[in-house]
Structure formats: C-alpha cells, structure tokens
Structure 1
Amino acid sequence: MVRIQKERFKYTKEERSWIMQDWANSAYSIMITTAVFPLFFKAVAESGGLDSATSTAYWGYANSIATLVISLLAPVLGALADYKNQRMPLFTWFTLSGILATVGFAFAPEGNWQYLFLFYVLSAIGFSGANIFYDGSLVDVTTLTRMHRVSAAGFGWGYIGSSIPFVLFIILQLTGILPISQVMLIKLGFVMTAVWWFIFTIPYWKNVQQKSYIEREPEIVRSSFKRLFHTIRDIRQHKQAFLFLLAYFFYIDGVGTIFKMATAIGSDIGLSSNDLIVVMLVVQFVAFPFSILYGMLAKRLGAKNMIFVGITTYIIICVYALQLESLQTFIILALLVGTAQGGIQSLSRSLFGQLIPEGRSNEFFGFYNIFGKFAAVVGPFLVGIIAQITGNSLDGVFALIVLFVVGGVLLVRVKIPEVHEV
C-alpha cells in the first residue's frame, strides 16, 4: 500500500508543460494519422492506378511498417533514456525527425504515392519514438495520486489543441480565401501541422526535467541491453506490470486500428472528404470532455473499471461497424469512438505508471510502447488483408472484436496497488 500526502488539485508548471506536449503532437494525430493525410494518400494512390481497396491496404501496410520498426527499437530506447541526461536528446531527435518528415509531405512529386508512403513511415516513427520518452516522463512531473487526472488532461487538451490547426485548415478549404489549388492547400496544412508541433513542444523542452534516472555507466548501449536482459529474465518480479501489458497488447491493438483506419473505411463506404473531415472534427470535441471525465471517474471508480467501460464501448463499435452504410451511421460510430478513445488510452498510460519500479520509467514505458505499437502491426494488417480478400473493409473491423474480449479477460487478472491520500 502506498500512502501519499493529500494535495489540492492544481496543475504545476511541470504538469502544464507536460500536458502542452500532448496539445502539440496531437495535431499530427488528426491531420496526418486520421483525417487529411489518409484521404490525400488514397487519392494520390488511386490516381496512380490502385483501386480503393488496395489503396486502403497499402495505408494499412504503411502503418504496420512504422509500428513494427518503433516496436523493435522501443525497449532499447527506453533503457537508454533511463540514464542521466539521456532522455531529452532522444526525445528531441525523434521529435525533430517527425516534424521534418511531415514538412517533407509538401514536397511530394505529383502522383508519386510511393514518396508519400516512405515519408509517412518516417514521420510516424518520429512521432511514436518521441512518445516513448513523453510517456516515460509522466512519473517525473506528477505524483501517483494525481497521475490519472494529469494523463487524462494530456489526452483531453490534446484533442482541443489538435483541432485548432485542423479548424484553420477547414476554414481555408471552405472559404477558398487563398488563391492556391486544393493540392497546395493540403500541403500547406501539412506544413502548419509541423510548425504547430514544434512551437508547442518548446514548454516541454524548457520545463520538464528528468528527475528519476540511473547514473551513467561505461558503454551505456551495452549496459542498456544487459538491463533489458535482466528485466526479461526476472519478469516474475514485475508480474502485474507485464500481465497488464499483455492485456494492453490486445485491446489497444483494436483501439489503434480503428483510429488509424477510420477515414479510409469511411471513404470506402462512399463518404466525401468534406464529410469525413467534419466528422473527425466533431469527434475531437466529443473526446475532450470524455477524456477529462474518465480521469475524474477513475479517482472514484478506479482506473481499471473505467478501462473496462472503454473496452465495452469498443466491442459495441465493432458490432455496429457492420451497419455502416451512410453518413448518419458513420457519425454515430465516430461519436462512440470519441467517448472512449482518449479515456482508455490515458488511463492505460497512468495505470501502467503506477505498476512500474521507481527510477526505470523509460525502460518500462519502452516495453509499454513495444506492446502497444507492435500490437498495432496486427490490426491494420488484418483489416488490409481482409479488405483485399473480401473487398469489404468492414469485415476486418468486426474481426477486431476478439482483441477487445481477450484484452478484457486478461485485465481482470491484473492486481492494482492501492494508492491512498492521507
């Protein structure tokens, strides 16, 4: 049992700066991962001779490749980042890599979907790699009792922050105020995303410090591998953390797949680009209050129970996906996603933060990311394969239901340490 001095809930400068990083990088999530870039990629790919189902499949393959690469790197990167003064340089390198690759979309040759495929993979690796160190820094900016609400606030404000450049892009698109082509406007949107990401990362660079660390050793890369080996060998000493990761592996695969494939699937059922963009914007604003609500209810009902609420919601989403045939049905499904997406992700992050040993947050969040990201290889690949075989991507979404069921069953067995205020 852990007892912590009761605190009045008011965000500290470090907590606000940490939350602001979610505000910064979430612009990538909506503009690149979810709303605009998938449609742009599909349009370019189909103009290059691919049919709709095949272009969706290649979008799934791009996500699978990026997540596979970062999954293989995550544990070693996390172990390296636990050494004193190592986390920030690694965070900076991956962040700038992702930002520059995002700028690179603006220079794509006309009709060259292979260029976009490559630069998307590079940008996704930068984005996901930076998040290993961002997630690991949660334990350095707050306390155990505040962790669920701070993590939820990150996701919640991230939805609002990501919506601002998105709304600006929509305004420019609908008004036609700039005398440029649609393609140039979309490329401008990619550049705006990169600039937003960079500017609002500055508070994190200034105010978030690595407080928990291991003193540097000679040959830190070799030492990092040795620590990883010992952690895996002594996995029984961290049974609850790794049991949670196993549950997380399954249910977060479904969450990530639905998030990444949503607009491509909406396009496949005949929705226009404008319809999809507006729906994604609505989801952002729905997700904001629900993410905050999940964090507040976790204090009263428990984070584990609230994750079960999210898993149940996603099972309903998988079943309902078979009914997708119009804008109305897609809006209903998207709103359901909005009620659960931020909450299940934020509470998973903070719950894991309570299960890991002190001073090794980056190493363990490296495992957290390998389980989360490597899981995301399976889902998009599954949807892509089924889309090619059946010609209907909705069948793949329904198949994801098994991931949520297995994840929920495993989560039942995870024992959460009691954290009390005194």
Structure 2
Amino acid sequence: MGTGTVRAEAADEAAERRREQRGWYFYDWACSVYSTSVLTVFLGPYLTSVAESAADADGFVHPLGVPVRAGSFFAYCVSASVILAVLLMPMAGAAADRTGRKKPLLAAAAYVGATATTGLFLLDGHRYLLGGVLLIVANASLAVSMVLYNSYLPQIAPPEERDAVSSRGWAFGYASGSLVLIANLVLFTAHGSFGVSETAAVRICLASAGLWWGAFTLVPLRRLRDRRAPKDATAAARGHGWRQLAATVRDMRHRPLTLAFLLAYLIYNDGIQTVISQASVYGSEELGLSQSTLITAVLMVQVLAVAGALGMGWLARRHGAKRTILGSLIAWAVTLGAGYFLPAGAPVGFFVLAGGIGLVLGGSQALSRSLFSHLVPPGKEAEYFSAYEMSDRGMSWLGPLLFGVTYQLTGSYRDAIVSLVVFFALGFVLLARVPVRRAISEAGNPVPDRI
C-alpha cells in the first residue's frame, strides 16, 4: 500500500472522527437545557410552591402517607430519582457493551426523559405528586442516557484529544442552556405581554426544555455510529443490573487506582450536583430573590461556564487535569462558605457567587470525565462509564438527602447549603492521593505527556 493511500485513509478516518465528535457535542446541546432550565432554575421553586399550596397547617405534605416538610419535597424527589437511576444504569451499560448497539438505548432513554419533561406542563394546582413522579422519571432517564453518551468519548477521541473534546461538549451544553434561558427570561418577565399568567409561563418554560431535548437528540443519533463489541467485552457484559455493577466493581479491584478515582469523584461531584439542583431553592426561599433574578444569575453561570470549560481545558494542557480539578474544588468550597453569609434580598452578592461557580462548573466536570476516560480498559467503555455515571448522577442522592434532612431538622437553608462543603473537602483529599499516571498505565492505556 502506497504512502499516498495511507495518508488518504488517515485523512478520511480523521474527518469521520471529527464528524462524530461534532454530533456527540450536540447531545450536550440537547439535554443540558433540562439541567439548566428545569432542574436548576424553574422546577425547584415551582414544585416547592405547589407542594406548599397542598401542605397542611403545619407545612407538611404526605406522599404515600409519609409526613414531609414541603420545603424538602423537591430535594427528596431528586434523591429518589437517583436511586431509580442506580437500578437502571448498570443494565444500560451492560446491554451496550454486550450488543455494541448504544444508539437505540440512547434514543430510548433520551425520549423517555424528554417526554416526562414535556409533561411538566401539566403541573399546576396541588399536583405536587405528579410533579415529583415526572421529575423522578426525567432525572433517571437523563442519568441513563449519560452513561451511553459518555461511553462514546474513548471511541471518538484519541487520548491526546479527550480533554479538549470533553470540554467542548460541556461548552456546547452551557451555550445551549444560555440561549434557552434568554428565551425563558423574556417569556417569564414579559408574560403579560404574551397573554399568559406567570404560572403558565413557568409551565411553558418547563415543557419547552423537553421539546428541545427531543428535537436536538436527532443530531447525535444521525452522526454517532455503533461499533461491534469486542468478544471479551461481550463476555464480560452478560450480567444485569446490580449483578453487572458488582462484576464491574470486582474487575476494578484489579485496578484499585481507577476505583480510588471513582470514590473521590463520587464525593466531590455529589456536592456539585446538589449545588446545581438546590441553588435556586436557596436563592428563592432563604435569600428572597425573585424568579427573574434567579434566571439572570443562572444565565450568567451558563455564559461564564462556556469560557470556564474552555479555559480550564487550557489550564489542564499546561498544568495537568488533576491539578486543575483540585484547584476547582477549593473554589467550590470557598464559594459555598461565602454563600452562607449572603444577606437576604441582596442580589449583588448572589451574582458574584454565581459568577465564581460558572467559572469552575463546566471545567471541573469536563476534566473529570476526560480524566476518567484514560482509566477505562479498552473494550469496557460502557461498563466502566455506567459505574462512572453512578458516581456522576447515580450516587448523587447523598447531597440532596443531606440538604433536605438538614433543612427538615433546622428549618434553615443556610445550614443546608453550608453542609455541602464536606463533599468538596473530602473529595479534594481523596483525589490528591490518586497517582493518575500510574492509574492510566495499569488500565492498559498510553499515558499522555501531561495529565
């Protein structure tokens, strides 16, 4: 085979890889609107208000006969959604590795989640239970879809490209969230001009996130391609559910450094996910900020997160992903500590903290994903990323549970928010102890020059 032919084939392969990468970015573009508009901005305060309207004289609702303070209902639903995801994600990862057909599974998870999100339009009056059920279904579906989405990363990007590709994916997601939040802000603040009530405007914003999620999922489904599963991966993926997860963890015992990274990530990402889901509740209920102020603050987070994800990707290329992530965890802890002292009714301080979160939010998550991709043995991408997603979203019920219990016991959202500092402090200590270069080598992957 001539040199020219080899070069032509290499160029074709690179072009196909770039095409897949661009399609892959669009799933972040599709689903991040749910995380931003639904989970971070609108659903927490709105579902809490619906629960409060249905509460008894003591401020409690009684789902399935259990007394729950109305202000804790949203946090508990987030925890319940993650427990459901824990049951489903290992099965999705095992099926993807066993069959090599990730796209049909990704499509199923995405469209169940998009449908449940669109159904939030029906949330009004005293229907807090309907809102809780739809939240649980949508959140669990998002977690399952992310198992499959993340598992494509080692297949579409060689080691030297993964930090950049992962960061671009997050940047696409935050750009999408910013664009839709601008539309949400216009509708919400000028709802009278559009002939709808404030409540109807919120419901439209919630439902539009589901429609956006479903529409743009078509792009990755067209661009990404399934690959034949390796025989050893197929044999390893014959388990189901918890049995498959147990098999994955047993396999990780032969790679204890990969397991150590997952433990660190489980801890600090639990804090990140809880801040994302509970910040708007803290702003509205404890600080007394208006919905328009919260939307503006989250919009600032989205815009700065695009620059933050790309900027932290640049820092990782200069200083290594591990050091950059450790620096971001310090920033998270400082931000939460400052948030405890914010005065009520003063949006300026909230905007300052939102800006700090935006600069580290996307980068800390993007670099964690790309760093883990180096620790995955070849041929076990979906299996290992199901365990990763258990850490990313699947085990992120501890933070909302701690937040909800702290509020239930103290009646103070300030105590609830500052309690999350423990996740970032402990995660920092655990991650600092992981020798990532040796972990990559033990996983059977080439070690980048800087990691």
Normalised to the residue count of structure 1, the TM-score between the two structures is: 0.92
Q: 1:161 aligns with which of 148, 154, 176?
A: 176
* CA distance in structure 2 between the aligned counterparts of 1:277 and 1:198, rounded to whole angstroms: 23
Q: Do the aligned partners of residues 227 and 252 (structure 1) sit closer, same or farther apart at CA in structure 2, a change above 3 Å counting? A: closer
Change (3 A) 1:226 1:168: closer
1:47 equivalenced with 2:50 (yes/no): no
Q: Give 1:323 shift.
A: 0.7
Q: What is the CA–CA distance in structure 2 between the aligned matches of 1:45 and 1:127, rounded to whole Å?
A: 24
Q: Does 1:419 align with 2:448?
A: yes
TM-aligned CA deviation for residue 214 of structure 1:
3.2
Aligned equivalent of 1:22, options 28, 35, 39 = 28
Asked whether the 8 Å contact 1:13–1:207 carries over to 2, the reply is yes
- The Cα of 1:411 is off from its aligned counterpart by 0.8
Which amino acid in the other structure matches residue 270 of structure 2?
D
1:221: how far off? 5.0
Are the structure 2 counterparts of residues 87 and 11 from structure 1 closer, same or farther at C-alpha, using a change threshold of 3 Å? closer
Partners of 1:343 and 1:196 lie apart in 2 by: 24
* Equivalent residue, structure 1, for 2:159: 144
Once the two structures are overlaid, the 10-residue window that deviates more, 214-223 or 392-401, is 214-223
**RMSD of aligned residue pairs (Cα, Å):** 2.5
- What is the match of residue 303 of structure 2? 285
Give the partner amino acid of 1:294. M
Q: Which amino acid aligns with 1:172?
A: L
Paired with 1:225 and 1:385, the residues of 2 have a C-alpha distance of 27
Alignment partner, residue 182 of structure 1: 198
- Cα distance in 2, alignment partners of residues 218 and 333 from structure 1: 49
User: Which residue type is aligned with residue 39 of structure 1?
Assistant: P
> Could you say which structure has the larger radius of gyration?
2
The equivalent of 2:210 in structure 1 is 194
Q: Secondary structure at the match of 2:277?
A: helix
Q: Is the 8 A contact 2:238 2:244 kept in 1?
A: no
- CA contact under 8 A between 1:159 and 1:285: conserved in structure 2? yes
From 345, 352, 357, give the equivalent of 1:337.
357
The 3-state SS of whatever aligns with 2:395 is helix
- State the distance in 2 between where 1:166 and 1:385 align: 30
Larger displacement relative to structure 2 (240-249 or 317-326): 317-326
Shift in Å, 1:285: 0.7
Distance (whole Å) between structure 2 residues aligned to residue 386 and residue 229 of structure 1 = 32
Residues 89 and 241, structure 2, Cα contact 8 Å, conserved in 1: no
CA contact (8 A) 2:97 2:380 kept: yes
Equivalent of residue 149 in structure 2, options 127, 134, 137: 134
In the TM superposition, residue 187 of structure 1 has moved relative to its aligned partner by 1.9
User: What's the CA shift string for 1:122-151, capped at 9, x where partnerless?
Assistant: 111111111111111111221111101111
| More divergent stretch after superposition (12-21 vs 209-218) | 209-218
Unaligned runs of 5+ in 1: none
Could you tell me how far apart the structure 1 residues matched to 2:97 and 2:449 are?
27
Q: Answer with 395-404 or 249-258: which moved more.
A: 395-404
Aligned residue among 250, 253, 272 for 1:233:
250
Question: Could you say what secondary structure the match of 1:76 adopts?
Answer: helix
The answer as to whether partners of 2:90 and 2:240 remain within 8 angstroms in 1 is: no
| Matched residues, number | 416
CA distance in 1, matches of 2:151, 2:100: 14
CA drift of 1:210 comes to 2.8
Sort the Cα spacing of 1:254 and 1:218 in 2 relative to 1 into closer, same or farther, 3 A.
Answer: closer
CA distance in 1, matches of 2:131, 2:247: 40
Do the aligned partners of 1:109 and 1:115 also contact (CA within 8 Å) in 2?
A: no
Partner of 2:259: 242
Match of 2:373 among 322, 342, 353: 353
Shift of 1:82: 1.0
Contact map agreement 2:163 2:367 (CA 8 A) in 1: yes
- 1-structure distance, mates of 2:49, 2:338: 27
Equivalence map 1:304-323=2 (5 Å):
304-323=322-341
Please report how far the alpha carbon of residue 109 of structure 1 lies from its aligned counterpart in structure 2 after TM superposition. 4.8
Q: Is the 2:274–2:396 contact (alpha carbons within 8 Å) kept by the matching residues of 1?
A: yes
The 8 Å contact of residues 140 and 212 in structure 1, kept in 2 or not, is answered as: no
1:308-355 deviation line (CA, Å, top 9, x unaligned): 011110110121122122312222221111111111111110100001
Equivalence for 2:87: 72
Which 5+ residue runs of structure 2 have no aligned equivalent? Answer: 1-9, 61-67, 438-446
Report the counterpart of residue 222 of structure 2 in structure 1: 206
**Pairwise CA distance, 1:230:** 4.2
Does 1:402 find its partner at 2:431?
Answer: no
Cα distance change on mapping 1:401 and 1:286 into 2, 3 Å:
same
Tell me how far 1:272 sits from its aligned partner.
1.2
1:285-308 deviation line (CA, Å, top 9, x unaligned): 111101111112111110001100
Displacement after TM superposition at 1:385 (Å): 0.9
Contact 2:113–2:141, Cα closer than 8 Å, also in 1: yes
Distance 1:273 1:167, change over 3 A: same
Deviation digits for residues 97-136 of structure 1 (CA, Å, limit 9, x no counterpart): 1011011111235221111111111111111111111111
Q: TM-score, normalised by structure 2?
A: 0.86
**Which residue in 1 is equivalent to 2:282?**
265
Secondary structure (helix, strand or coil) at the match of 1:110 reads coil
Name which of structure 1's ranges 43-52 and 403-412 shifts more when overlaid on structure 2.
43-52
> Once the two structures are aligned, what percentage of the paired residues are identical?
28
Distance change in 2, residues 1:164/1:10 (3 Å)? farther
For residues 307 and 148 of structure 2, what CA distance do their matches in structure 1 show? 26
Output the CA distance in 2 between the equivalents of 1:194 and 1:223: 29
1:251 aligned partner, one-letter code = Y
